[in-house]
Each structure stands twice: as C-alpha cells, then as structure tokens.
Amino acid sequence: MSLATRLFRALGYEPRRPRRRQYEGATMSRLTSSWVTGGTSADAEVHGSLSRLRNRARQLVRDSDYARQAKRAVMNNVIGTGIKLQAQVLMQRGGRLDEDLNNRIEKAWKYWGYKSYCDVAGRLCFADIERMIVGAMCESGEVFVRVIRRPFGGSQIPFALQIFESDQLDETYTGKASADGNEWRMGVEVDKFGRAVRYAFLQKHPGDAPFSGTAAKRHLMLSADEVLHLYIQERPGQTRGVTWFASAIKRLHHLAGYEEAEVIRARASSSLMGFITTTEGELGTAEEVYDGDRVDSFAPGVFKYLQPGESVTVPQLDAPDGQFEPFTRGMLRAVAAGLGCSYTQVSSDFSQSNYSSSRLELLETRDNWRAIQRFLIENFHQPVFNMWLEMAVMGGALDLPAYEANPDRFRMVKWCPRAYGYVDPQKEVAAYKDAVRCGFKTLSDVVAEQGGDLDDLLKQRQAELAMLDEMNIVLDTDPSEVNGGGGAQAGLGIGAAPAFSDTERPGEEQEEQPQQQPQSEPEVTEDGEG
C-alpha cells in the first residue's frame, strides 16, 4: 500500500478505483436494470418464436387494414405484373445475339408459364406464383417451392412447381440426424457446413385437420435439390425465416386497440339518451316499458324508465381530440420503417406529401425493392429457369444444338423486373436526356430502369416508323420528322418542304445579296455578225 493511500485512509477518504472503460450502452444502472438481453444464436431465437410470430402476422394481415396494405405494397413494388425473361444466347461466331434461338426460348418459357402447366394445381400462372412467393415471405417470413419433374395439364415439358407454406415444414424435427455430423434444425437437415441436405415436410398442412385427418401427421422427406427454400437470412447460421412484420407486430396490435377505443368513445359521446324517474312504487304499464330492465348500455335516441329511487350517473365523454391523427401517423411511420416501405405506401395518406418528399421516399424504398428483386432472381428465377431449360430439352419442347456439350451457353438470360413510374415525368425525362447526352448513362440503362429492353424497343420503334411512312402520316412525336420546336426537320420527311436551308439557322438573318443584272444578248445583224 502506497504512502498516499495510507494517508487518504487515515483522513477518512477511500480512494476511488479507476473505472474500467466500456460502452455506455452496456452499462448497468437503475435506468437499464430491466433491460434483459441474451447471447442466443439465430436459430435459438427463432425456434421459440417462429410459429407465434407467423400466426400473429397472419392475423394482422387478415384484420388490419394497414398490415394488408403493407403486404400488398410489397407484392406490387417487387413483382408488379411479373419479372420478365429475355434470353441472351450468343452465336458461336461473331459474338452477336442469336435472335432466332432467343425467340424460341422466350416463346417456350412464356407458353410454359400458363397456369395449366407451371402450377401442379393448375391455379396459378407464373406471375401469380411470383406474387404468392413474395407475399408469403413478407407475411410468414419464408416459403418453400417444390420442383416436380413431370408434366401437368398436357404440357410437353416435364416440369412444374408446388408451393408449401412454412407451417408444413415440421419444426419439431430438431436434433442429431446422423453419425457424420448432420443435424436437424427445425425441420431442415444440415451438414457440418450448414448446407441443407433434406427437408421434413408434413404430408398436409397441420392447420388443415378438418379436411386432411391423420394425413397431416405423416412426413414427406424431400432432398435439397427438390426444394427451393426462400427467406431473407438476417444472421449467420439462420436456418428458418422470420416474418417481415416481426418488429411491427406489437405496434400494429396496439394501434388497432387504440382505434377501437377511440371509436367506442366517439359512439358513446354521440349517443343521446333520456332517463325518466318515477315516484310511484311501480313502473308504468306502457308496452315499451319492461320490468326489471337494467340500464347497462347506450343507444342513441332511447328513453328509459328507472325504478323508484334509482338514478343514473353518466360520465362526461368527449369526442376524440386532435391528437388522434398525429399519433396514428407516428405509429404508422414506425411500422413502415420496420417493413422497409414508405409511410404513404402503408397508410395511403398523401396529405403530407409533396414532390421532394415523395421523390425521397420512393428513391429510398426502391433500393429495398431492388434488393429483394435481386434476391428472387438469384434464388428463384435463375435456378427454376436452369432446371426448366434442361427438362424442356429432354422433353423435346426445345431443340438446342450442342446443349449437352455447353449448357451454360443457353442459360444466359436477362431478368427485367417491374418498372417504376415517374414522380414528375417532365423533370425526370429531361434528366435522363441530359444524362445520355453527357455520357453518364446509356440508352440501355434508361430503358432498363423503366423495365424494358433496348433491342425490343428499337425494333418496335422501327416497325412503327415504317408503318407511319407507308401510310404517309407524320406525328410530332417522331424526331426524324419534327424538330423540338414543332417544325419539320430540314431535308427529312415525306415530301415536306424544309423549314430552312442548309445555310440558314433559326434566329439568324441572312445578308441580302445584290441581284445580278442579266446580260443582254448581242444584237445580231442580217449577215449574222454581232
């Protein structure tokens, strides 16, 4: 013990020990004593909450207007009317697109996408399957797509899809699976690297007991190459997906209760009732008077008799005050933030929006939509297309020379997600034009951002211009015929006179040239001499 320490203690002072440095958020105090946290793994957290979170989210989507609108906004913004396929197979020589081959692949894919062929139940076309998948991921957190290699509905291609809800994967299948280190995690058998090996599905949906009976308890073991397990993995090692409503469930539930209480208060405050007190021993004998009735509810426009000596005390009920709307907006903004949507997409309230705020909202949320689109393309669309292409060749629906020698050559495709509309078309089109002129963007970039393909656009444009030329029609939307000011283009057009000569420019005055006098012909005499 040092001399200074002994001196301080002799004087009655206890020297303070140096405090260990730590994060403020990790300190324990009276303000954080109730903040209980755990260091559980992703699967440990999911295991105890999976079914309850999923069921509560579904109940909200069924009964809450805002939850239902949020799910609809996700499906509309991610899928819309569908993610389109564009085959990009190149010729073996020259490096140009093989248009004939690409057209045949696209035609066969579109034909297979009819509901009779792509869905085992024959109820959903491929665009409907896309929307169903995204909706299930949003609501339940995950969805399973089973691949069945056999034809349905008379299809020439032995390939179809079957969708399983997350409930059908038996989450009670948990524990050691084999001696080689595999283990079951909530219905998924994974190897020592965490790669899925098998899935333990129930034969029927467990909530379908009135129709399926004991079949719901039997299992269907499917290998991983037969199943596409689609969910957003938020933590390393996470085996099952969690509903996207997880952080908003309590808030939406409380908001629904708050709205119901405000509605009841408004109804009660607007219910005008009257009470009649008698001084006699018995109530009157009028038919509308009932002996022994208790006044236990409010109904507008009703007059009730009271027993002698009874009285009614009615509390003063005010109508909802002005805090209802801002409180609701604040709650919905938090819900939208948790779902990755904008406030207007969840609430359908545009009263607080202007051009700047709307544009910022859309730009922010579109990044989220594009991330989900990329996930779907990599984990659903491309794998399904690769398997479909193989089965289409095997089934004889597509004749692809040298496919077996180099299948990757024929798998080159481009997926075109839905396009997003303009907030202010005039400003944004002008911005696109300037970006192309400056070289910041290409025409392909601009067309792709609008959900199109430049090759298809130019071909269609060429066909339209040829038709207009053939019919001798000039539109002011044709830049080859009409300039930006609405005048005819110089030297172009169908027999149209040029608006100005090659040497003239609009707004320029030409100098007046002196007129030359024609030379008089020499006078000829009778002998022929001039």
Question: Beta strands 219-223 and 84-87: pairing type?
Answer: unpaired
The lowest-confidence range among 83-97, 138-152, 159-173, 290-304 is: 290-304
CA angle 387, 389, 395 (to 5 degrees): 100
Residue 456 has pLDDT above 70, yes or no: yes
Residue 299 has pLDDT above 90, yes or no: no
Shortest CA distance to 241 belongs to which of 49, 369, 78, 66? Answer: 49
Ordered DSSP codes for 307-341: -TT--------PPP-TTHHHHHHHHHHHHHHHHT-
What is residue 381's predicted lDDT score, i.e. its pLDDT? Answer: 98
Cα gap 36→147, rounded to integer Å: 44
Q: Which amino acid makes up residue 432?
A: Y
**What is the token pair recorded at 396?**
């004889």
Spatial neighbors of 355 by CB under 8 A, at least 6 apart, are 423, 424
Q: Which amino acid makes up residue 22?
A: Q
Long-range CB pairs of 275-283 (<8 Å, 24+ gap) are: 275/303, 275/304, 275/305, 275/306, 275/312, 276/303, 276/304, 276/305, 276/306, 277/306, 277/308, 277/310, 277/311, 278/305, 278/306, 278/307, 278/308, 279/308, 280/308, 281/308, 283/307
User: What is the pLDDT averaged over residues 346-372?
Assistant: 83
Ordered DSSP codes for 31-48: TTTT-------HHHHHHT
The lowest-confidence range among 16-30, 275-289, 395-409 is: 275-289
Q: Residue 450, exposed/middle/buried by CB under 10 A (0-12, 13-18, 19+)?
A: middle
Cα gap 112→105, rounded to integer Å: 11
- Confidence tier at 228 by pLDDT (50, 70, 90): very high
What is residue 524's predicted lDDT score, i.e. its pLDDT? Answer: 46
Residue 292 has pLDDT above 70, yes or no: no
The lowest-confidence range among 72-76, 252-256, 433-437, 451-455 is: 451-455
* Interior/surface letters 3-24, b for 16+ CB within 10 angstroms, e for the rest: eeeeeeeeeeeeeeeeeeeeee
Q: Mean pLDDT for the chain?
A: 82
Q: What is the 3-state secondary structure (H, E, C) of 98-127?
A: CHHHHHHHHHHHHHHCCHHHHECCCCCCHH
Cα gap 503→485, rounded to integer Å: 19
Q: What is the DSSP letter of 89?
A: P
CB 470 within 8 A of CB 492: no
The helix (H) or strand (E) run that includes residue 439 is none
Output the CA–CA distances (angstroms, integers) from residue 117 to 114, 243, 377, 397, 517, in the order listed.
6, 30, 21, 13, 85
Show the DSSP H helices in 171-323 as ranges: 209-212, 249-269
Long-range CB pairs of 310-315 (<8 Å, 24+ gap) are: 310/277, 311/277, 312/275, 314/273
User: What is the pLDDT averaged over residues 258-271?
Assistant: 81
- Confidence tier at 116 by pLDDT (50, 70, 90): very high
- Confidence tier at 507 by pLDDT (50, 70, 90): very low
User: What is the pLDDT averaged over residues 6-13?
Assistant: 70
The lowest-confidence range among 347-356, 430-439, 475-484 is: 475-484
Q: Name which residue leads in pLDDT, 474 or 216.
A: 474
- Confidence tier at 276 by pLDDT (50, 70, 90): low
Cα gap 368→175, rounded to integer Å: 36
Highest average pLDDT, of 209-213, 239-243, 436-440, comes from 239-243
Residue 121 has pLDDT above 90, yes or no: yes
